[in-house]
Structure formats: structure tokens, C-alpha cells
Structure 1
Amino acid sequence: MKIAQDRQKSYADKARREDQYQSRDFVLIKVSPMKGIRRFGIKGKLSPRYVGPYEILNRVGDWAYRLALPNSMERIHNVFHVSQLRRYVTDPSHILSPDELELNEDLSYEEMPLWIMDTKVRTTRNRDIRMMKVMWSRHGAEEATWEVEQEMFKAYPHLFN
């Protein structure tokens, strides 16, 4: 029994991450902190995973850190669990500022379609499905997605005027 427990512990330890941060370190905050909540609609591949960087002010308990958040995020509690943080590595290409995203209180934001770039009909065994390639706000043409026309009409009727 002890051998089996040790083996399972070694598997669990590989996935476990025990990051330790110091005061004055910079970290990124996870935007969608809870599982099962679909932020940003169904466009998961377009959604940013982290925002920041933010400076760590101090450690609160064993697994939490207090961050220096900007005034635009004053309604958000400034203490975060270590699992919601990632160490900041200097690279300006992955920084998303919360001012550009207009974050809600639950660290989510609304992505809006700008225009329809292309349309096509996808044929299955039983029916034809009309699809459209949609250009989204704050994203380039290479990140446009194919969406079902009927669902887009329900969610965004202003695109069809």
C-alpha cells in the first residue's frame, strides 16, 4: 500500500507548482479565475488568459499575495491566491492592459463583432449550415473566426442591417 501511495504522490507532485514570490516582483493575473464559467462567449481562442504585469506589495498568509492594482481596478479585491498568478517575464508582446479591455468586476470583458468578412455553407449528411467569418474587436484578420449564422443573428442582429 505504501508503494502505491508513493507512486501516486510522485504523479501529483509533477503537476504541483509551488511558486514563491518576493515583494517588488511582477506577476500576471489570470483573467478567468474560475472553471466552468464561459467568459467571452464561445470565442475561447480569442480571450486573453492573463493581464498585467502588477507589482507584489506583500505576502498574505502562505499562499496569497497583495498586489498593487491600478485605480481602474479599484473594485477588485487586491489579494490573489498563488494559483491565479504567473511570474512576469519581460516581453511586451503579451501584455494586455485592463484599460483597453474594460474589465468587469468578475475579471471578464465583452468581445464584440465588427463585421462579416466571408460566408460559406457547410454541408453535413442531413442539412446545410450557413457559416460566416467574423472579424472581432481588438483582434486582427488572422484571428477572425467562423461562426454559425443563426447564432450570430440571435446574439448580434445589428450586423445584418
Structure 2
Amino acid sequence: MLQQDSNDDTEDVSLFDAEEETSNRQKKSQVRHPVASFFHLLFRISAIVVYLLCEFFSKSFIACMVTIILLLSCDFWTVKNVTGRLMVGLRWWNHIDEDGKSHWVFESRKASSPESKAISEAESRIFWLGLIACPVLWVIFAFSALFSFKVKWLSTGEDQTS
């Protein structure tokens, strides 16, 4: 019978650095900017809630629409200046050259940069789902208002049943 030497020089090494990969995945799945994630969704969801519940709180169509527009403006500013950069590494602005021509500059983090490793998968999902799901809801609301013939902006605001 052959006996194996108990002082083997081999050690268990994970294949393709699986341990490191799982620890990185746990770090990446955490939300690193909870305040930015909160405000990314807050303005969008509040605008939808105000749209759905505005008739219960106010009879003024103008007040409801102004509130919704202000909330969506805050959402736009937040996405452009804060959450786009923190959560997924996007940045954009308008540049006007010497000739007076307007140029839009779009930037994103390079996949190989050390900053791109700081992007959390959970934050990325929150950002893109919020960015896509809310406009889809607005399109559904627009079609439902159009097909239910509750197009408020065509009426004079007075009840004309009398």
C-alpha cells in the first residue's frame, strides 16, 4: 500500500479566482449611494402619484400640472447632475464653440477604468429601471387618457352639463 505524504505542497486554489469574484459581486450588489438612489426614484414616483391622485387633493387642473412639471424638472436635474454620474457614470453637457454652434458632449466611464469597478450592479439596475419604467407608465397614462376621452386640456375647465 502506498502512503501519501501528509505535507503536500499543493493548496486549494479556486478556479479563475472564484472567491475573489464572489466577494466582488457582494460588494457590487450593495447600494453605495442610497441618498442618490432615493432621490432618483422620489421625484419620478411623486410625479406619478400626484398625477393619479391630483383630483382628490385639488380641483385645479393647472395646479396639478404645474406640480407634476416641477417634480419632473427636479427629476431631470437630479438625473443629469447627480444620479447619472454617481450611479452609472454618465455625464453630458452642451458646449458652444467660437462659431456659435451648439455641441452636445456625452461621456461615460470606460469599462477598464478603476471608477467603473466602483459602480454597483444594484444601483445600475435602480437607475436604468427607473429611467425606463416611468416613461413607459407616462405613455400608458397618455393612451388611457386619450382613449377614455378624459383629455382635460381640451375642455374649458367648467362643467358644461347644465
Shorter-chain TM-score category? Answer: under 0.3
Q: Which has the higher contact order (CA 8 A, sep 6+)?
A: 2
Select the structure that is richer in helix. Answer: 2
TM-score by length of 2: 0.20
TM-score by length of 1: 0.20
Select the structure that is richer in strand. Answer: 1
